[in-house]
Copies of this chain bind each other. A is one copy, B any other.
Amino acid sequence: MLIRLPSGQEIDNIPGESILKALKRHGIYLVASCGGKGICGKCHIRVLEGTFQTTTSGKLDFRQTDSGSVLACQTYPEEDLSIDIPKESKLVVGDIIETARATDLLGLFQTLDGTLSPLVQWISLQIPQPTIQNNFSDLERLIKALEGQNIKDLIFSHSFVLSLADSLRQAGWQIMLGYTGNKEVFSLSPLPQKERFGIAIDIGTTTIVVYLVSLSDGRVVNVGSTYNSQIRHGDDVITRIVYATENAGLQELMDAVVNDVNTIVTQLAENHGISQDDIESAVIAGNTTMAHLFWGLNPAYIREEPYIPTLNEFPLWKAGAAALAMHSQAPVYTLPCIASYIGGDIVAGVLASKMHRHPEISLFLDIGTNGEIVVGNNEWLVTAACSAGPCFEGSGIKQGMRATEGAVETVKINRQTLDPSLGVIGQGKPLGICGSGMIDAISELFLSGVIDQKGRFIKESKTDRIREGFEGVEFLFYQDSQREIVLTEVDIENILRAKAAIYAGISLLLKKTGFSLNDIEHIYIAGGFGNYLNVERAITIGMLPDLPAEKFIFLGNTAIAGAYLCLLSENMRKEAEEISRKMTNIELSVSRQFMDEYLSALFLPHTDISQFPTVADLLKKK
Alpha-carbon distance between A317 and B155 when the two chains are bound, in angstroms: 10
User: Which of chain B's residues have a CB closer than 8 A to the CB of A169?
Assistant: 301
Q: Would you call B132 and A313 a contact (CB within 8 A)? A: no
Question: In the bound complex, do residue B298 and residue A165 qualify as a contact, i.e. CB atoms below 8 Å apart?
Answer: yes
- B162 and A313 form a contact (CB under 8 A): no
- Interface membership of A307, Cβ < 8 A: yes
Kindly state whether residue A295 has any CB partner on chain B within 8 Å: yes
Copies in the assembly, this chain: 2
A297-338 toward B: CB 8 Å interface, digit per residue (1/0)? Answer: 110110001111111110101100100000000000000000
Residues of B within 8 A of A340 (CB): 135
Minimal beta-carbon separation of A514 from chain B (angstroms): 22
Q: How far is the CB of A70 from chain B (nearest CB, A)?
A: 38
Q: Is the CB of B312 within 8 A of A140?
A: yes
**Closest chain B residue to A316 by CB distance?**
B155
Shortest Cβ distance from A164 into B: residue: B310
The CA-CA distance from A587 to B311 in the complex, in Å, is 54
Q: Are B306 and A130 in contact (CB-based, < 8 A)?
A: yes
Contact call A139/B313, Cβ cutoff below 8 A:
yes
Among residues of B, the one whose C-beta sits closest to the C-beta of A340 is B135
Q: Cβ of A346 < 8 Å from any Cβ of B?
A: no
Query: Which chain B residues border A164 with CB–CB below 8 Å?
Result: 310-311
With A300-B165, A307-B132 as contacts: A140 and B313 at CB distance below 8 Å = yes
CB of A292 to closest CB in B, whole Å: 9
Contact of A297 among B131, B140, B165, B296 (CB under 8 A): B165
* Chain B CB within 8 A of A156 CB: yes
**Within the assembled complex, what's the spacing in Å between the Cα atoms of A295 and B156?**
14
Q: Could you tell me the dominant secondary structure of chain A's interface residues?
A: loop
A341 CB to closest chain B CB (Å) equals 11
Chain B residue with Cβ nearest A305: B132
Known: A132-B587, A158-B317. A140 touches B311 (CB 8 A): yes
A136 to B310, CA, bound (A): 9
Cβ contacts under 8 Å, A310 to chain B: 137-139, 161, 164-165
Task: Please measure, in the bound complex, the distance between the C-alpha atom of A574 and the C-alpha atom of B313, giving whole angstroms.
Answer: 34
Q: Which residue among A130, A140, A311 has the maximum number of chain B CB atoms within 10 Å of its CB? A: A311
Report if A137-B306 is in contact (Cβ < 8 Å); known contacts: A166-B298, A587-B132. Answer: no
The answer to the question of A506 belonging to the interface, with a C-beta cut-off of 8 Å to chain B, is no
- Using known A-B contacts A297-B165, A311-B137, A311-B161, determine if residue A306 contacts B131 with beta carbons closer than 8 Å: yes
**A590 at interface (Cβ–Cβ under 8 A)?**
yes
Residue A492 at the chain B interface, CB threshold 8 Å: no
Provide the bound-state CA to CA distance between A159 and B310, in Å: 13
**Bound CA span A136–B587, Å:** 13
* Cα A350 to Cα B371 with chains together (Å): 67
Contact with B along A156-178 (1 / 0, CB 8 A): 11110110111001000000000
Task: List residues of A (18-60) whose CB comes within 8 Å of B's CBs.
Answer: none
The CA of A321 and the CA of B182, in the complex, are separated in Å by: 21
A130-B306, A139-B312, A140-B312 are known contacts; what are 15 more A-B pairs with Cβ within 8 Å?
Answer: A132-B305, A132-B590, A135-B306, A135-B340, A137-B311, A137-B312, A137-B313, A138-B311, A158-B315, A159-B321, A164-B310, A165-B297, A165-B300, A165-B308, A166-B298
Residues of A within 8 A of B (CB): 130-132, 135-140, 155-159, 161-162, 164-166, 169, 182, 295-298, 300-301, 305-313, 315, 317-318, 321, 339-340, 587, 590
CB pairs A–B below 8 angstroms (25 shown)? A132-B306, A132-B587, A132-B590, A135-B306, A135-B308, A135-B340, A135-B587, A137-B308, A137-B313, A139-B310, A139-B311, A139-B312, A139-B313, A140-B311, A155-B315, A156-B315, A157-B317, A158-B295, A158-B321, A159-B321, A161-B295, A162-B296, A162-B297, A165-B297, A165-B300
5 A-B pairs closest in CB distance: A139-B311, A158-B321, A132-B306, A158-B317, A165-B310
